[in-house]
């Protein structure tokens, strides 16, 4: 049965995108020769998918992707992008257009652009993310389909693009489906649209496709570098330069188009107190790729997590990719700075980017600000465990998350799942993902947010999960005081029967900012304050506690939160309101973290 789940990347690409224009992701796109296609795009809502399907549920001969114009006065064409409204891209349609707040379905986006086509060059079309399914057309020709709403993808459009005037059309569909990842039910807003940057990348016919640079996890003075060009070609010269380390190495590709290097270095190690990054340049045939990369090691020893060989306590908070003050998908450095600034005020050194890979700006800003990061894919609640296409989708998202961010030293944990019910099919699915993750990156820790489902008595919670053998860190969610009596915190005993570090990946409760009362009344700041005090006292008694990420930094939109006058479509568990108001619980957590920071100096 397990063999079904071990799918190669080629099979994944084939199952999710049946068109040959999709090519492997280009590493570090923002350091390439790029042209932004961000800006105003025309859009047409298509709730019945008339631009794609006929009334027999078959693909139409001429889709909206062709951007057709009437040939004469009798040629019936029932759409016109040039007369349709415009939307700023990147964005989500739910907050960009008020009438689309609850909309789930298809919308077509179109943009005209000019491009200078150069001989001997390749052109790639890159999307940071489209939620959830994207069908992409260039100049009326379909170049591919992508499934998954939170990871990047790119197409080689060299044979589709013209010198001069061009247009791109993207059909975006965010309908929730049982076989999707995430599945039909989840607890955040289903933001639809082209939610991250759209770029044209101009490359030489032969280019550096991928590279990785990190320390040997067993030797902090040994640098490991690898790179790959986009074709199996020997004899191509690459140069790696790190001036501050007095390092410059010339390398030559082997028959597979790859280079590797292991060499001694003495870097200043990245850490939250000193998030040191080095200027790195990778050169090939006159083209330079610039990056900023930090060096550190992360490992476990018994019940401890070690950063650069020293025990640490992860003073964390969970964050959704949602803007402060105006809601909607966060998609720029300024959005990240606001959220991470609050986390810095809270005393955090660690962020859980939930429940899906966040945008590159957020990861890079966190790295510069000294935050360690947990990054995860949206295998959330009840996935279609036995569906091979669902697994292929999950593995593709895991691959692309790791591929994009493997050079970001602040990411210390890859997570596979959140609150998944135990069972044989689930164990096969998740253990396969864990094994796959280790083939892609052996330098980081693996974890997942488990559920506590076994109790030997009313006041004893025991974590029992078969996935314990596949993870490096035991993480679980608990909500005593919110979905269970707050008085139970004083009586509760926790048993975690594994010799591994423990992270509480979620805990907390809701409060409406500015609503006050006694500490025994739900939704008041005083109740949330009490819940935080009692949970911190309870959780501190867990043997091997190495960190936590309470749920959550900021109130966020969720269609599951229907209590008018209190929730108003918001999950109110934030320690900061959606308008940036810090609740009383914020200061309780800050005091706890300040104490922990002193203990681990």
**Mean per-residue pLDDT over the chain, rounded:** 95
- Looking at residue 49, its pLDDT comes to 95
Do 36 and 95 lie in one domain? The reply is yes
**Residue 510 counted as domain residue:** yes
Report if residue 212 sits inside a domain.
Answer: no
452 — pLDDT class (breaks 50, 70, 90): confident
How many domains does one find in the chain? 3
pLDDT above 70 covers what percent of the chain?
96
> Three-state SS for 148?
coil
Supply the range of the domain harboring residue 354. 299-599
Give me the pLDDT at residue 456, please: 63
Percent of the chain with pLDDT over 90: 93
pLDDT reading at 19 higher than 60: no
Residue 23 lies in a domain: no
Tally of CA atoms within 13 A in the half-sphere of 146 that contains its CB? 31
pLDDT at 177 exceeding the cut of 70: yes
Q: Is 53 helix (H, G, I), strand (E, B) or coil?
A: strand
Domain boundary among 296, 324, 343: 296
* The last residue of a domain, from among 177, 204, 231: 204
Q: Are residues 280 and 372 in the same domain?
A: no
In the chain, % helix, strand, coil (3-state, to 5) comes to 20, 35, 45
Cα-Cα-Cα-Cα torsion 485, 491, 497, 498, nearest 10 degrees, comes to 70
Q: What is the pLDDT of residues 246-263, one digit of tens each?
A: 999 999 999 999 999 999
Whether residue 277 is found in the same domain as residue 307: no
Domain presence at residue 5: no
- Beta strand spans in 396-483 (E): 411-418, 445-451, 454-457, 460-462, 474-477
- State how far the Cα of 477 lies from the Cα of 484, in Å rounded to an integer: 13
pLDDT at 457: 75
pLDDT tens-digit series, residues 537-548? 999 999 999 999
The tens digit of pLDDT for each residue in 38-73 reads: 999 999 999 999 999 999 999 999 999 999 999 999
Has residue 17 got a pLDDT over 90?
A: no
In a shared domain, residues 483 and 450: yes
C-alpha to C-alpha distances, 584 to 57, 325, 512, 595, nearest whole angstrom:
54, 19, 11, 18
Assigned domain for 211 exists: no
Residue 393 has pLDDT above 80, yes or no: yes
Both 282 and 414 in one domain: the answer is no
Q: What is the pLDDT of residue 20?
A: 56
Do residue 231 and residue 199 come from a single domain?
Answer: no
Residue 135 belongs to domain with CATH number: 2.60.120.260
- Which residue has better confidence, 335 or 11? 335
11 within a domain of the structure (yes/no): no
Q: Are residues 168 and 317 in the same domain?
A: no
Give the domain CATH number at 561.
Answer: 3.20.20.80
Tell which residue, 156, 202, 210, 160, has the closest CA to residue 26. 210
pTM: 0.95
């Amino acid at each position: 049965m397990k063999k079904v789940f071990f799918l190669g990347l080629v099979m994944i690409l084939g199952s999710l995108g049946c068109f040959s224009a999709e090519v492997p992701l280009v590493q570090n796109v923002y350091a390439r020769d790029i042209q932004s296609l961000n800006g105003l795009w025309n859009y047409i809502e298509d709730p019945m998918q008339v631009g794609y399907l006929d009334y027999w549920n078959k693909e139409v001969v001429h889709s909206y992707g062709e951007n057709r114009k009437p040939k004469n006065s009798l040629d019936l064409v029932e759409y016109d992008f040039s007369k349709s409204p415009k939307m700023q891209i990147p964005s989500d349609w739910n907050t960009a257009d008020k009438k689309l707040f609850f909309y789930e379905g298809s919308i077509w986006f179109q943009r005209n652009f000019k491009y200078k086509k150069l001989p001997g060059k390749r052109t790639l079309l890159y999307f940071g993310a489209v939620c959830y399914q994207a069908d992409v057309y260039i100049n009326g020709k379909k170049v591919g389909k992508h499934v998954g709403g939170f990871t990047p993808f790119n197409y080689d459009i060299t044979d589709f693009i013209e010198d001069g005037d061009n247009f791109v059309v993207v059909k975006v569909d965010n309908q929730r489906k049982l076989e999707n990842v995430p599945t039909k039910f989840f607890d955040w807003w289903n933001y639809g649209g082209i939610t991250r940057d759209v770029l044209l990348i101009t490359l030489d016919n032969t280019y550096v496709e991928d590279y990785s640079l990190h320390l040997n996890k067993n030797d902090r003075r040994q640098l490991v570098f690898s790179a790959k060009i986009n074709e199996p070609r020997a004899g191509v010269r690459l140069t790696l330069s790190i001036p501050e380390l007095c390092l410059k190495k010339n390398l030559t590709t082997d028959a597979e188009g790859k280079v590797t290097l292991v060499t001694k270095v003495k870097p200043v190690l990245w850490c939250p107190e000193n998030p040191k990054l080095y200027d790195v340049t990778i050169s090939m045939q006159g083209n330079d790729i610039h990056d900023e990369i930090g060096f550190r090691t992360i490992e476990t020893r018994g019940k401890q997590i070690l950063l650069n060989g020293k025990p640490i306590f992860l003073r964390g908070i969970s964050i959704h990719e949602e803007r402060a003050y105006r809601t909607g998908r966060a998609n720029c450095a300024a959005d990240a700075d606001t959220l991470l600034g609050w986390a810095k005020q809270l005393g955090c050194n660690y962020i859980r980017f939930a429940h899906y890979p966040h945008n590159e700006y957020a990861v890079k800003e966190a790295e510069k600000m000294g935050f360690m990061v947990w990054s995860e894919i949206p295998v959330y609640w009840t996935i279609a465990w036995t569906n091979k296409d669902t697994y292929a989708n999950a593995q593709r998202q895991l691959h692309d998350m790791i591929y994009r961010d493997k050079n970001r030293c602040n990411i210390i944990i890859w997570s596979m799942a959140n609150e998944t019910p135990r069972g044989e099919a689930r164990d096969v699915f998740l253990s396969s993902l864990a094994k796959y993750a280790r083939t892609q990156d052996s330098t980081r820790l693996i974890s997942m947010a488990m559920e506590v489902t076994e109790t030997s008595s009313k006041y004893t919670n025991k974590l029992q999960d078969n996935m314990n053998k596949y993870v490096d860190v035991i993480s679980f969610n608990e909500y005593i005081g919110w979905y269970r009596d707050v008085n139970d915190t004083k009586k509760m005993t926790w048993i975690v029967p594994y010799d591994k570090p423990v992270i509480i990946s979620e805990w907390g409760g809701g409060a409406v900012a500015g609503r006050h009362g006694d500490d025994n009344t739900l939704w008041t700041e005083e109740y949330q304050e009490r819940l935080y005090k009692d949970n911190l006292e309870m959780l501190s008694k867990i043997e091997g506690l190495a960190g936590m990420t309470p749920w959550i930094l900021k109130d966020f939109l969720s269609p599951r939160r229907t209590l008018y006058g209190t929730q108003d479509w918001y999950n109110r568990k934030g320690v900061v309101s959606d308008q940036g108001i810090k609740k009383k619980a914020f200061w309780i957590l800050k005091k706890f973290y300040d104490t922990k920071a002193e203990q681990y100096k």
